[in-house]
Amino acid sequence: MWGRTVWLCLRAPGGRYRGFSSKAHPPGSGRITAEMLQHLERHALVDFGNREAVTRLEKAIAFADRLRAVDTDRVEPLESVLEDRCLYLRSDRVIEGNCAEELLQNSRRVVEEYFVAPPGNIALPKLDE
Amino acid sequence: VSAALKQGQITPTELCQKCLSLIKKTKFLNAYITVSEEMALKQAEESEKRYKKGQSLGDLDGIPIAVKDNFSTSGIETTCASNMLKGYVPPYNATVVQKLLDQGALLMGKTNLDEFAMGSGSTDGAFGPVKNPWSYSKQYREKRQQKPHDEKEDSNWLITGGSSGGSAAAVSAFTCFVALGSDTGGSTRNPAAHCGLVGLKPSYGLVSRHGLIPLVNSMDVPGILTRYVEDAAIVLGMLAGHDPRDSTTVQDPVKPFTLPILTDVSKLCIGIPKEYHLPELSNEVRALWSKAADLFESEGAKVIEVSLPHTSFSIVCYHILCTSEVASNMARFDGLEYGHRCDTDVSTEAMYAATRREGFNDVVRGRILSGNFFLLKENYENYFIKAQKVRRLIANDFVNVFNSGVDVLLTPTTLREAVPYLEFIKEDNSTRSAQDDIFTQAVNLAGLPAVSVPVALSNQGLPIGLQFIGRAFYDQQLLTIAKWFEKKVQFPVIQLQEFMDDYSSVLKNEKLTSVSLKQ
């Protein structure tokens, strides 16, 4: 991923980021460390790709920080606007299915009735590899 | 047009062909990603047989419709305007699509959108941006000629708004009578306002989301775009109701949505939320909003100022919840079962990462990463849970206002009229979304029904819409009031002379462009 080469160039000795912290950052939000970026990339399995993406994330976090001004003491989180109703559950009877062939058609790599994936026990390469 | 079909003034095949030819003529609008010509003609044939036997299925039989490309349609490519799903053909129909097809509607095609419905301009899809038909209207062009300019004719076209821009452009350019959109933060109401249409967001839980590729499960609803409020009500009547395949649909029996004709508004109480008086609001929209409030008052309704104290935080709350749910919903795109798959086969993780990098655009990736940040253990409480708490405060604001005797709220839909594309792209997607969704997303947080009704043309000849917000599940009341309002304001029909010539004499004395679904 080319984004990694960008970071390697920007890395100051000691392994800390330079150039991504803005003096305008309000205290408490913290700048995003290389470790955090890597962590997020691994979790999301989506890479940042370029500096703009990191800036975008910083902006998003700064934007989200505005919520600190709201007093939510003793307020319960709202998960669904329909929380005062019972969730409908179907009875546990099979009424449809048997469409394996149709579903397999949408996949790029199939062997008999299996979706084929590459080996799963290899971790994503780390930044300094 | 439905009456015309029943009376034999026009046949479904003729209607279908008119719309198909219009689609071809308006191809430059880029409203459609896929045009299902063969299927539509076949459906038209079957509809014609039914009409001949006098066995029409209802008001929607033989009527051309379009569906936003994030609804699954069996046998028709469904892409969500993303490289990730290019070539993906779902094996099933979304419930709402199936319901419309069961009523005999003719599916013209799948319309363009922002990638995965993320955006407020319909400019960030993999198939290019959608152009607003009003850019080519007589009303807009006449006003522009008053200002001398030497730009090329087409370079300054306007955006449709988003993310259901393709659906809006399709209805606005008369290629269909009804289009389905989706509404998560205003994605149906925003383009409706910019394209001079009625954009309805039903109450959350009223219409099934099965088959709608999800963005934010707790806020998404299928939206309806039409030219008239009555048409939206007819379609809502067909789509509303419990779906065993979507457990977030309520089980209450659904009453029909026939709208009574309101003659007396003196018992109504209209609320004007004071926090919606933003400095960024354009003067014209502000003036129209005020005029609308005065209209209600002059007809005897009670118009009062109300307060939704947490309004300024709703966009932030929406931002956190939206990106978090998106991060979760986009996790299913790993290239294994469907969609794009990269060529690397080194390891599962590398394959997933590369597939997702190739398949998603910057906007989607940005949201996934932000969402994942908010969902990290160390941030969960401070961001995600906090946003959920703020969501409750916002929802309660609305409940309090409605409990104080207000029937509907009247607010602007957008800050101003549609802007030129070149201006729109000066800011990035997230900035624009934060600006443009400002009046519409609080409604999604609270799950309330809302409708954008076109009111008047701006000084530049472009449509401006106003939004009515109703109580949860009071969609019928909301639409009844909207219909009364629509009749009073008499919004003009768009004049697209160049393409309309062969449309004018389809029905005896009425131009097809100004007929409603029932006509």
Please provide the size of chain A in residues: 129
State residue B75's pLDDT score. Answer: 93
> What pLDDT digit, counting tens, does each position of B242-270 carry?
999 999 999 988 877 888 888 888 899 99
Q: Nearest-CA neighbor of B257 among B184, B209, B203? A: B203
Return the SS3 of B223.
Answer: strand
- Cβ–Cβ below 8 Å for B337 and A103: yes
The whole-angstrom separation of Cα B25 and Cα B23 is 5
Q: What is the pLDDT of residue B206?
A: 95
Number of C-beta neighbours around residue B445 at 10 A: 30
What one-character-per-residue DSSP string does B252-312 give? SPPPP-PPPPP---TT-EEEEEGGG--TTS-HHHHHHHHHHHHHHHHTT-EEEEE--TTHH
* Strands B178-183 and B64-68, bridge-based pairing: parallel
Say yes or no for a CB contact (<8 Å) between A90 and B247.
yes
The whole-model pTM stands at 0.90
> What's the pLDDT tens digit per position in A4-28?
444 443 333 333 333 333 333 443 3
Counting Cα atoms < 13 Å in the Cβ hemisphere of B223 gives: 38
Q: What is the pLDDT of residue A30?
A: 53
Torsion angle (degrees, nearest 10) of CA B55, B57, B59, B62? -90
What is the model's pLDDT at position B500?
A: 59
Q: Which of A105, A128, A129, A108 is nearest to A118 (CA)?
A: A108
Cα separation, B230 vs B210, whole angstroms: 25
pLDDT at B108 over 50: yes
Distance (Å, rounded) from C-alpha B304 to C-alpha B510?
A: 40
Contacts of A82 in chain B (CB under 8 A): 204-205, 248, 250, 447
Distance from CA of A93 to the nearest CA of B (A): 13
Q: Give residues with Cβ within 8 angstroms of A126, minimum separation 6.
A: A38
Q: What amino acid occupies position B394?
A: I
Give the mean model confidence (pLDDT) for residues B283-293: 95
Task: Encode pLDDT of B290-307 as tens digits.
Answer: 999 999 999 999 999 999
Would the CA dihedral through B319, B324, B325, B327 be positive or negative? positive
CA atoms within a 13 Å half-sphere pointing along the CA-CB vector of B18: 26
Is pLDDT of B434 > 60? yes
CA A22 – CA B38 distance, rounded (Å): 57
pLDDT at B90: 94
For residue B146, give both structure tokens.
Answer: 């008053």
Percent of chain B topping pLDDT 70: 95
Separation of first and last alpha carbons in chain B: 4
- Which residue among A60, A75, A119 places its CB closest to the CB of B430? A60
Show the DSSP H helices in B162-277 as ranges.
Answer: 165-172, 189-194, 229-239
Q: Which of these, B11, B13, B103, lies nearest to B60 by C-alpha position?
A: B103
d(CA B76, CA B91): 9
What pLDDT score was predicted for residue B148? 40
- Hey, is the C-beta of A111 within 8 angstroms of any chain B C-beta? no
Whether B26 and B173 have beta carbons less than 8 Å apart is answered as yes
Q: Would you tell me how many other CB atoms lie within 10 Å of the CB of residue A127?
A: 16
pLDDT at residue B228, as a whole number:
95
Which residues in chain A have their CB less than 8 angstroms from residue B388's CB?
77-79
| Strand locations in B378-422 (E) | 408-412
User: Which among B337, B347, B386 has CB closest to A67?
Assistant: B386
In this prediction, residue B469 carries a pLDDT of 97
Active-site option among B18, B68, B201, B483: B68
Q: Angle at the Cα of B169 (from B505 to B121), degrees rounded to 5?
A: 165
Residue B341: closest C-alpha in chain A: A108
pLDDT at residue B353, rounded to an integer:
87
Q: Mean pLDDT, chain B, as a whole number?
A: 91
How far is the C-alpha of B259 from the C-alpha of B261, rounded, in Å? 6
Backbone angles phi, psi at A110, to 5 degrees: -135, 140
Angle subtended at Cα B247 by Cα B243 and Cα B253, rounded to the nearest 5 degrees: 50
Q: Evaluate if residue B184 carries a pLDDT over 60.
A: yes
Rama region for B435: left / alpha / beta (φ>0; ψ in -120 to 50; rest) = alpha
Q: Locate B284 and state its tokens.
A: 């014209």
ipTM above 0.90, yes or no: no
Q: What is the pLDDT of residue B71?
A: 96
**CA gap B354, B365 in Å, rounded:** 12
pLDDT at B506 over 90: no
Give me the pLDDT at residue A21, please.
Answer: 35
List the single best residue of A70, A87, A110 to mutate versus B (max B Cβ within 10 A): A70
Residue A12 is predicted with a pLDDT of: 36
**Full set of structural domains in chain B with CATH:** 1-260+412-489 (3.90.1300.10)
Residue B307: predicted pLDDT: 95
B511 versus B393: the higher-pLDDT residue is: B393
- Residue B410's pLDDT band, with cuts at 50, 70 and 90, is very high
Which of B269-278, B286-295, B503-512 comes out lowest in average pLDDT?
Answer: B503-512
Low-confidence ranges of chain A (pLDDT < 70): 1-31, 126-129
Instruction: Give the residue ranges of DSSP H helices in B115-209.
Output: 138-145, 165-172, 189-194
pLDDT higher than 70, residue B358: yes
Which distant-in-sequence residues (6+ apart) come within 8 Å of B353 by Cβ?
A1, A41, A45, A46, A47, A124
Question: Out of B205, B357, B374, whose CB is closest to A82?
Answer: B205
B163 is catalytic: yes
C-alpha A118/C-alpha A116 separation (Å) is 7
The answer to whether B443 touches B450, Cβ cutoff 8 Å, is yes
How far is the C-alpha of B160 from the C-alpha of B121, rounded, in Å?
6
Closest alpha carbon to A72 in B98, B154, B387: B387
- Position B345 confidence tier, pLDDT thresholds 50, 70, 90: confident
Mean pLDDT of B42-67: 93
B383 within 8 A of B261, measured Cβ to Cβ: no
The whole-number pLDDT of residue A123 equals 76
* B250, B345, B388: residue with CB nearest A85: B250
A chain contacts of residue B202, beta-carbon cutoff 8 Å: none
Q: What local confidence, expressed as pLDDT, does residue B377 receive?
A: 93
| B68 is an active site residue | yes
